[in-house]
């Protein structure tokens, strides 16, 4: 498998004033072409630093992609850096100068003298035509390693890559494939999950397995490299079935699947309906559910009952239970879920009541304590969750909302299994 380095130049990128979107885009294109990116490097507008990185890259990979620094101003130093790295001089490339003049003429303007530098090319380099801007790109071999320098302006860079570079890289990749698949999990922390699949995560293994985590979700990313697309697919399939066998229902989907999407699909498949009664999540569960197109098929509605009064008035929670157990309690979580199911006339209902912080925690009921109520056709339950008293408010709320959705998912999966085996309704 061919390997690439992707280099971006620009002081604004190095200082974090502009987000570098070019390298991410290019690395994704390379992967799609079957080329593995080994490094992303950002250098400020400094010809010597750029030359040094280019020299390093030339000995370490099979193809170099670089963006930025091809403009007409004094901070545009890529041409010089390329010439220095190749140990050659810059010379004027007349066809590029003609293109520049024509570019300005088409806009009714005289070309500023300053732009002539954009027609300079290192000796032995090839100009890559720019169909939507002034600066031509440059293709040059550095110690035998092809290097493509593209404009920094994202749309010019993309157009030039697709027209001038991708076909050559496709030939270079020679049919190799680098495919990736992500399995989404919920319910197990990243370290516990990592323990269970440790042997698959060993570095240097193909397919390569890695995890990414955020707010209760853990993604398992599988990258497979192979001489052909079919071989890479087979490696992914093998890894996926291995992971599914080990992790079972912790895995809720793959690639574009989302937790609310999967819950929605299960509701739609079983013809069941859902409603919500939210306190500390303030409508977040309802938002996640209604983010899914077509959710009107199963979503009956939801109530945001923040104050105790609202819990009593809207969802028929018993004021004495609130008084005795406190609003943040399993009793009230169950009452909220049951109240929502009755008021909205749904088969299932999810509720939350908790302390999202940062204030309001006590030793008995710390910040991060959330009770999640669940009403199903077979009963009403509540689960106590501790999301951590130092967790930020938005993390507690999002984890609570996702936990409620995941509890629903597991209930629905159970119901589907029963219906399929004939022991359901
Ligand atoms: P340059 O070709 O270096 O003069 O870049 C022209 C403009 O393109 C810059 O002012 C940036 O706004 C943008 N740009 C350059 N490099 C990148 C990059 N790697 N990611 C996103 N935008 C970029
Ligand atoms: Mg620049």
Vertex 419: Cα angle to 418 and 420 (nearest 5): 90
- Residues with beta carbon < 5 A to ion ligand 2? 10, 68
**What are the pocket residues of ligand 1 if the criterion is a CB atom closer than 6 Å to any ligand atom?**
8, 10, 13, 18, 20-23, 67-71, 76, 151-154
CA 70 to ligand 1: nearest atom: 2
Measuring from atom 13 of ligand 1, which residue has the nearest CA? 153
Report the distance separating Cα 375 and Cα 287, nearest Å: 19
Q: How many CB atoms lie within 10 A of CB 291?
A: 12
Residue 384 in 3-state DSSP?
strand
Q: Are 21 and 55 in contact (CB under 8 A)?
A: no
Q: Are 88 and 124 in contact (CB under 8 A)?
A: yes
Residue of 8, 21, 136, 153 to test ligand 1 pocket, by largest number of atoms within 8 Å of CB? 153
Distance in Å, CA 159 to ligand 2 centroid = 18
Nearest ligand to residue 152 Cα? 1
Vertex 278: Cα angle to 274 and 283 (nearest 5): 85
Q: How many CB atoms lie within 10 A of CB 136?
A: 29
pTM to 2 decimals? Answer: 0.90
Query: One digit per residue, pLDDT tens: the chain, 425 residues?
Result: 999 999 999 999 999 999 999 999 999 999 999 999 999 999 999 999 999 999 999 999 999 999 999 999 999 999 999 999 999 999 999 999 999 999 999 999 999 999 999 999 999 999 999 998 898 999 999 999 999 999 999 999 999 999 999 999 999 999 999 999 999 999 999 999 999 999 999 999 999 999 999 999 999 999 999 999 999 999 999 999 999 999 999 999 999 999 999 999 999 999 999 999 999 999 999 999 999 999 999 999 999 999 999 999 999 999 999 999 999 999 999 999 999 999 999 999 999 999 999 999 999 999 999 999 999 999 999 999 999 999 999 999 999 999 999 999 999 999 888 877 765 44
Distance in Å, CA 299 to ligand 2 centroid = 50
CB within 8 Å of 55: residues ≥ 6 apart = 85, 142, 143
CA 68 to ligand 1: nearest atom: 3
Name beta bridge partners: 138: 127, 149
Residue of 16, 46, 67 to test ligand 1 pocket, by largest number of atoms within 8 Å of CB? 67
Q: Is 149 exposed, middle or buried (0-12, 13-18, 19+ CB in 10 A)?
A: buried
Distance in Å, CA 171 to ligand 1 centroid = 28
Residue 14 in 3-state DSSP?
helix
Nearest ligand to residue 66 Cα? 1
CA 73 to ligand 1: nearest atom: 4
Work out the end-to-end distance of the chain between its first and last CA atoms, rounded to an integer number of angstroms. 54
Measuring from atom 17 of ligand 1, which residue has the nearest CA? 152
Report the distance separating Cα 425 and Cα 245, nearest Å: 29
Distance in Å, CA 151 to ligand 1 centroid = 8
Distance in Å, CA 182 to ligand 1 centroid = 31
Report the distance separating Cα 115 and Cα 95, nearest Å: 14
- pLDDT of the residue at 425: 43
Nearest ligand to residue 71 Cα? 1
Report the distance separating Cα 302 and Cα 342, nearest Å: 12
Residue 118 in 3-state DSSP?
helix
Residue of 7, 9, 10 to test ligand 1 pocket, by largest number of atoms within 8 Å of CB? 10
Closest CA to 244 of 233, 252, 255: 252
Secondary structure E strands in 260-403: 274-278, 299-304, 348-354, 369-376, 379-386
Q: Exposure pattern of 55-71 as b/e (b: 16+ CB <10 Å)?
A: bbbbeebbbbbbbbbbb
Report the distance separating Cα 341 and Cα 358, nearest Å: 31
Nearest ligand to residue 68 Cα? 1
Distance in Å, CA 360 to ligand 2 centroid = 50
Distance in Å, CA 157 to ligand 1 centroid = 9
Q: Exposure pattern of 404-418 as b/e (b: 16+ CB <10 Å)?
A: bbbbbbbbbeebeee
**Pairing relation of β-strands 251-254 and 348-354?**
unpaired
Distance in Å, CA 71 to ligand 2 centroid = 7
Q: Are 335 and 321 in contact (CB under 8 A)?
A: yes
Residue of 23, 68, 69, 137 to test ligand 1 pocket, by largest number of atoms within 8 Å of CB? 68
Measuring from atom 23 of ligand 1, which residue has the nearest CA? 152
Radius of gyration of the chain (CA): 29
Report the distance separating Cα 154 and Cα 189, nearest Å: 38
Closest CA to 107 of 136, 132, 72, 135: 132
CB within 8 Å of 53: residues ≥ 6 apart = 7, 41, 43
What is the rounded (10 degree) CA torsion for 306, 311, 312, 315? Answer: 150
Distance in Å, CA 65 to ligand 1 centroid = 14
Distance in Å, CA 33 to ligand 2 centroid = 27
CA distances from 254 to 56, 184, 237, 315 (A): 38, 6, 12, 36
Q: Are 19 and 49 in contact (CB under 8 A)?
A: no
Residue of 29, 73, 154 to test ligand 1 pocket, by largest number of atoms within 8 Å of CB? 154
């Amino acid at each position: 498998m061919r390997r690439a380095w992707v280099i971006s130049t620009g002081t604004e990128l190095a200082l974090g004033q502009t987000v570098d979107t070019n390298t991410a885009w290019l690395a994704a294109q390379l992967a799609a072409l079957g080329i593995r990116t080994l490094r992303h490097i950002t250098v400020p507008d400094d010809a010597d630093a750029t030359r040094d990185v280019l020299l390093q890259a030339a000995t370490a990979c099979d193809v170099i992609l670089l963006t930025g620094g091809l403009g007409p101003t004094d901070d545009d130093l890529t041409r010089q850096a390329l010439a220095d790295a190749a140990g050659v001089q810059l010379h004027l490339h007349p066809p590029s100068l003609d293109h520049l003049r024509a570019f300005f003429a088409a806009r009714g303007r005289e070309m500023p003298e300053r732009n002539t530098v954009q027609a300079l090319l290192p000796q032995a380099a090839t100009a890559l035509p720019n169909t939507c801007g002034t600066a031509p790109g440059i293709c040059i071999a550095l110690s035998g390693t092809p290097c493509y320098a593209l404009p920094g302006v994202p749309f010019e860079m993309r157009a030039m890559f697709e027209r001038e570079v991708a076909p050559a890289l496709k030939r270079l990749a020679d049919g190799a494939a680098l495919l990736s698949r992500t399995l989404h999990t919920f319910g197990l922390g990243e370290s516990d999950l990592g323990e269970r699949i440790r042997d698959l995560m060993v570095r240097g293994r193909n397919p390569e397995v890695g995890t990414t985590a955020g707010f209760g979700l853990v993604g398992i990313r599988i990258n497979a490299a192979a001489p052909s697309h079919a071989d890479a697919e087979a490696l992914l399939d093998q890894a996926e079935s291995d992971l599914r066998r080990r992790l079972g229902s912790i895995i809720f989907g793959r690639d574009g699947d989302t937790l609310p999407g999967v819950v929605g699909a299960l509701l739609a498949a079983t013809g069941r309906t859902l409603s919500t009664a939210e306190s500390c999540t303030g409508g977040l569960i309802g938002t996640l559910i209604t983010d899914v197109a077509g959710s009107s098929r199963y979503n009956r509605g939801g109530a945001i009952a923040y104050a105790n009064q609202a819990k009593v008035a809207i969802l028929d929670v018993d004021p004495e239970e609130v008084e005795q157990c406190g609003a943040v309690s399993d009793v009230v979580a169950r009452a909220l879920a049951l109240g929502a199911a009755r008021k909205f006339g749904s088969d299932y209902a999810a509720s939350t009541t908790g302390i999202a912080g940062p204030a309001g925690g006590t030793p008995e009921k710390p910040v991060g304590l959330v009770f999640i109520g669940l009403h199903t056709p077979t009963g009403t339950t509540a689960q106590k969750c501790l999301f951590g008293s130092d967790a930020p408010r938005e993390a507690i709320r999002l984890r609570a909302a996702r936990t409620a959705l995941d509890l629903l998912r597991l209930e629905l999966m159970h119901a589907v299994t029963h219906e399929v085996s004939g022991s359901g309704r």
